[in-house]
Amino acid sequence: MQVQTTVDQEVKAFDCLHFINGQYVVSHNGKTFNNVNPANEEVLGQVSEGGKEEIDLAVAAAKKALNGPWKKMTLNDRIAVIRRIGDIILERKDELAKLESLDTGKPYWLASTIDIPRSAYNFHFFADYLRGLGTEAYQTDDVAINYAIRRPVGVVGLINPWNLPLLLLTWKLAPCLAAGNTTVIKPAELTPMTATLLGEICREAGVPDGVVNIVHGFGPDSAGSALTEHPDVDAISFTGETTTGKVIMKAAAQSLKKLSYELGGKNPNIIFADSDLDEVIETTLKSSFINQGEVCLCGSRIYVERPVYEQFVEKFVAKTKELVVGDPFDPKTKVGALIGEEHYSRVMSYVELAKEEGGQILTGGRRPEGLEKGFYLEPTIIAGLDRNCRVVQEEIFGPVVTVIPFDSEEEVIAQANDTHYGLSASIWTNDLRRAHRVAGQIEAGIIWVNTWFLRDLRTPFGGMKQSGIGREGGMHSFEFYSELTNICIKL
């Protein structure tokens, strides 16, 4: 299907097939489902619906490929192949960005400046990291020498969400390949297109057949559960909802798979009165509403110290009203469409719940005028809610934030930690001692001071409490995607 976008070129949406053992294939029973464009609710194409049969084929191919040419490749050759995947992604950046925008409803400029370049960088970064990777060695007096060797875990299942489809998939795939594993990928059912193209990109880069397999389908009773239950899958790296993580853990327990979890968040954004409010507001607009608020790291609970609360709210509401919501391919658009009908209804239900819980909608909370088709919602700011309200406690994953005043450091730390999530936090202050003091007490895996979403891929990334298990990034990714064997030699 040819889709005319408002950017200079057309892009071809396509039917998404599985990629198994180096070939694109349909499902054994021919089953497909619609891929819907969130911006206008039109069908972009058909997606092959995989199940146990396709997962069995993909896992068998991945298992066989573990001991094939991939294992025999020299370090230099493997690094070159992984780098080449990144190069091809950059060569096809515009096409991939348009497809990502069509699939997700996110602004095209966002896909082309963040999602796709970062996807390419994931391969470049982990390929380079691989060259310097070592292990440990210890001499035990004059008795023995111990050294560890690193080996792949085996067949790894990579299960992905829809909000940053290619970026998060490649964040897993790059270190997974660098560590020598083979893989079966289950992309999110709502965003299948860039994952589908990744199959041919890997093939062109020189990845041997069977090393990267991609099976489309749903989660429960479908491709997702078949992957997590499969006895020949050695590890699962999952990014998605906390509730899904709990289901996967049960399934994976049958064969005691290694698990890495990046789950939901309800992240505090803590603003002290001594911070530079204009800078705070500029970044808070992004940390609240970028990608339609559909980023696990978004700071959806905004706590503002009382002396500047009124001033902050007034400016923040005014700036939020200026954000253009609409056509993802219009360069003026700051907020695109939410991912789909079901998610849109869920986000809207939280807006209604906020009213029932006594909240005041300061701006937003409704579909923008003139946008009857597509899953659009005006960026929404809610005040007046108590810390125990469901809207303050539960992840909404949309352009909806709450603002709450606070009076002391102790109070805001207690409120920030008062949730079962622990993914990220932002702290705004010009007091260096306070920054250290507060950061040391917030229960989150990633904390930013006077910034947000500034990432160095060498650093540990992940959540505590019910926001995740394990860390990814740099060495931490290699820890997950490899097994260490200690060899002890008596001298």
Of the pair 423, 444, the CB lying nearest ligand NAD is at 423
Query: Which one of 100, 262, 294, 443 is the catalytic residue?
Result: 262
Tokens of 92: 């096809």
Q: Which stretch binds ligand NAD (CB under 6 A): 131-139, 182-190, 310-318, 373-381?
A: 182-190
Residue 457 interacting with ligand NAD (CB under 6 A): no
Question: Contacts with ligand NAD in 210-249 (CB under 6 A)?
Answer: 218-220, 224-225, 228, 239-241, 244, 247-248
Residue whose CB is nearest to ligand NAD in the complex, by number: 219
Residue 57 interacting with ligand NAD (CB under 6 A): no
Q: Which residues of 411-439 are buried (b: 16+ CB within 10 A; e: fewer)?
A: ebbebbbebebbbbbbbbbeeeeebeebb
Which three-class secondary structure state does DSSP give residue 202? helix
User: Is 199 in contact with 326 (CB distance < 8 Å)?
Assistant: no
Distance of closest approach, residue 296 Cβ to ligand NAD, in angstroms: 3
Query: Which one of 296, 298, 378, 443 is the catalytic residue?
Result: 296
- Residue 281 backbone phi and psi in degrees, to 5: -65, -40
By CB under 6 A, the count of residues binding ligand NAD is 31
Of the pair 17, 308, the CB lying nearest ligand NAD is at 17
Of the pair 190, 308, the CB lying nearest ligand NAD is at 190
Instruction: Give how far Cα 141 sits from Cα of 22, 146, 160, 365, 491, Å.
Output: 51, 11, 48, 69, 10
Residue 291 interacting with ligand NAD (CB under 6 A): no
Distance of closest approach, residue 407 Cβ to ligand NAD, in angstroms: 30
Residue 199 interacting with ligand NAD (CB under 6 A): no
Active site residue 395: no
Q: Of the candidates 427, 454, 423, which has an alpha carbon nearest to the alpha carbon of residue 438? A: 427
Residue 54 interacting with ligand NAD (CB under 6 A): no
Residue 159 interacting with ligand NAD (CB under 6 A): yes
Torsion 117-376-1-57 (CA) sign:
positive
The residue within the footprint of ligand NAD, chosen from 463, 470, 473, 474 (CB under 6 A), is 463
User: Is 249 in contact with 229 (CB distance < 8 Å)?
Assistant: no
Of the pair 364, 422, the CB lying nearest ligand NAD is at 422
Of the pair 189, 209, the CB lying nearest ligand NAD is at 189
Active site residue 310: no
- Residue 155 backbone phi and psi in degrees, to 5: -90, 120
User: Is 423 in contact with 444 (CB distance < 8 Å)?
Assistant: yes
User: Is 427 in contact with 442 (CB distance < 8 Å)?
Assistant: yes
CA dihedral 231, 236, 238, 244 (to 10 degrees): 30
Interface residue list for ligand NAD (CB under 6 A): 159-163, 168, 186, 188-189, 218-220, 224-225, 228, 239-241, 244, 247-248, 262-265, 296, 395, 397, 423, 463, 468
Q: Which residues are catalytic?
A: 262, 296
